[in-house]
């Protein structure tokens, strides 16, 4: 519902079909099932065409933001991705990473403002690879695409973001990530001022968004703030500030848009618990942190262990129980083909209700 005219400025066109998919370089390590879940949801549940091209590379965004990769180099790498998309016959570029999304937006805007940089990039790309490129017709983040189909997903929902016992909506903290809409506010749904991309999914799937004071605060990743060990105190202080601010609202889980944010909001909970003994979730444990693909996957009835949720720092079982999702506790640390993948040591942020079962299998 459009209540204010200014809200219209924050809408964006999202293509309906035929996507060229650019993966993140770090997500596979932290939330390994999320990208696969996105592909499965688009292919199997929504019947859309999406190309997962093995030829594309990292966008080199982390190197760029750490002052290791020069601007000319990253522009040429991005131009190569667009060239690969042209080769495959696609026009709608979809990226799975907020850093990459910011990079693509920044470079397209730079080419627009300073056409000579685009000409130079064309020259570099041709000299390096013999390739030419056309810019994409549309650029979207994967969460934009999930947002676009949120009502369709709601119609197919097997579980809602509702407490199965009480019928109350789950309280969800959403975090859109700085590079989604703070660099170019008009390129993200709702901008950074009215972050709606995840809030829209939560509302459509029955949950309740927590509007807490530090909702728009950075998670603390900030590239060189984290990459240099001596600076990490500053990085963790940002997550600490957010967690302190959201805890009084007793959120059932956090959903994050960005690979870095999901990782830091999840793993810093462990570090804060070790350093200060503070935990923010129920019963002295942590608050589960999900990616939006995992949230969509749970709503559509995917198995939590297929979604890779055993790789989280904070255990997700309390959330699964609340939503009334059935899962096999003994299968948690069994990878593909039933092979035992090892399990993390117990930590105060985890609840570990079935520790003994895994020990027997070990």
Two tokens at 166? Answer: 């009480």
Out of 237, 324, 329, 341, the residue judged to bind another protein by CB under 8 A: 237
Q: Is 346 in the site for another protein (CB under 8 A)?
A: no
Out of 70, 115, 233, 324, the residue judged to bind another protein by CB under 8 A: 233
Out of 231, 328, 330, 346, the residue judged to bind another protein by CB under 8 A: 231
| Smallest distance, another protein to C-beta of residue 39, A | 36
| Smallest distance, another protein to C-beta of residue 235, A | 9
Nearer to another protein, 218 or 323 (CB): 218
Nearer to another protein, 115 or 233 (CB): 233
* Interacting span for another protein (CB under 8 A) from 113-121, 170-178, 191-199, 228-236: 228-236
Print the SS3 string covering the chain: CCCCHHHHHHCCCCCCCCEEEECCCCHHHHCCCHHHHHHHHHHHHCCCCEEECCCCCCCCHHHHHCCCCCHHHHHHHHHHHHHHHHHHCCCEEEECCHHHHHHHHHHHHHHHHCHHHHHHHHHHHHHHHCCCCCCCCEEEEHHHHHHHCHHHHHHCCCCCCECCCCCCECEEEEECCHHHHCCCHHHCCCCCCCCCHHHHHHHHCCCEECCCCCCCCCCCCCCHHHHCHHHHHHHHHHHHHHHHHHHHHCCCEEEECCHHHHHHHHHHHHHHHHHHCCCCCHHHCCCCEEEHHHHHHHHCCCCCCCCCHHHCCCCCHHHHHHHCCCCCHHHCCECHHHCECCCCCCCCCCCCCCHHHHHHHC
Nearer to another protein, 128 or 237 (CB): 237
Tell which positions 297-316 bind another protein, by CB under 8 A: none
Q: Is 131 in the site for another protein (CB under 8 A)?
A: no
Q: Is 128 in the site for another protein (CB under 8 A)?
A: no
Nearest 5°: the CA angle 244, 249, 254 is 75
| Smallest distance, another protein to C-beta of residue 290, A | 24
Nearer to another protein, 239 or 257 (CB): 239
Nearer to another protein, 137 or 346 (CB): 346
CA 37 distance to own-chain centroid? 12
Out of 1, 54, 89, 230, the residue judged to bind another protein by CB under 8 A: 230
Out of 240, 267, 312, 332, the residue judged to bind another protein by CB under 8 A: 240
Tell which positions 55-114 bind another protein, by CB under 8 A: none
- Per-residue interface string for the shown chain with another protein, residues 244-283, x marking contact by CB under 8 A: ---------------------------xx-xxx-------
Size, binding site for another protein by CB under 8 A:
15
Residue numbers at the binding site for another protein (CB under 8 A): 229-234, 236-237, 240-241, 271-272, 274-276
């Amino acid at each position: 519902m459009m209540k204010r005219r200014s809200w219209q400025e924050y809408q964006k066109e999202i293509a309906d079909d035929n996507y060229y998919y650019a993966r993140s370089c770090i997500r596979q390590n932290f939330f390994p099932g999320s990208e696969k879940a996105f592909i499965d949801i688009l292919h199997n549940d929504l019947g859309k065409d999406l190309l997962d091209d093995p030829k594309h590379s990292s966008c080199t965004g982390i190197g760029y933001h750490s002052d290791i990769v020069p601007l000319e180099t990253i522009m040429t790498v991005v131009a190569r991705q667009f060239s690969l998309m042209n080769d495959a016959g696609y026009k709608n570029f979809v990226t799975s990473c907020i850093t990459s999304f910011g990079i693509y937006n920044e470079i397209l805007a730079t080419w627009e403002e300073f056409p000579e940089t685009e000409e130079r990039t064309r020259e570099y790309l041709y000299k390096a690879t013999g390739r030419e490129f056309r810019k994409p017709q549309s650029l979207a983040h994967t969460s934009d695409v999930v947002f676009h189909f949120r009502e369709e997903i709601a119609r197919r929902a097997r579980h809602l973001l509702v407490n199965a016992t009480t019928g109350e909506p789950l309280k969800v903290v959403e975090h859109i990530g700085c590079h989604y809409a703070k660099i170019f506010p008009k390129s993200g749904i709702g901008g950074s001022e009215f972050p709606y991309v995840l809030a829209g999914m939560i509302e459509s799937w029955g949950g309740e968004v927590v509007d807490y004071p530090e909702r728009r605060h950075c998670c603390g990743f900030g590239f060189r703030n984290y990459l240099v060990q001596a600076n990490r105190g500053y990085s963790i202080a940002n997550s600490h500030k957010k967690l302190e601010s959201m805890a009084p609202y007793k959120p059932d889980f956090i959903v994050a848009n960005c690979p870095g944010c999901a990782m830091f909001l999840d793993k810093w909970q462990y570090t804060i618990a070790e350093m200060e003994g503070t935990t923010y979730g129920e019963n002295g444990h942590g608050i589960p942190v999900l990616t939006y693909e995992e949230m969509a996957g749970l709503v559509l009835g995917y198995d939590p262990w297929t979604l890779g949720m055993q790789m989280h720092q904070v255990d997700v079982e309390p959330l699964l129980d609340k939503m009334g999702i059935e899962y096999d506790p003994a299968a948690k640390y069994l990878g593909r083909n039933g092979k035992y993948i090892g399990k993390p040591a117990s930590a105060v942020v985890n609840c570990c209700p079935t520790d003994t079962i895994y020990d027997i299998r070990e």
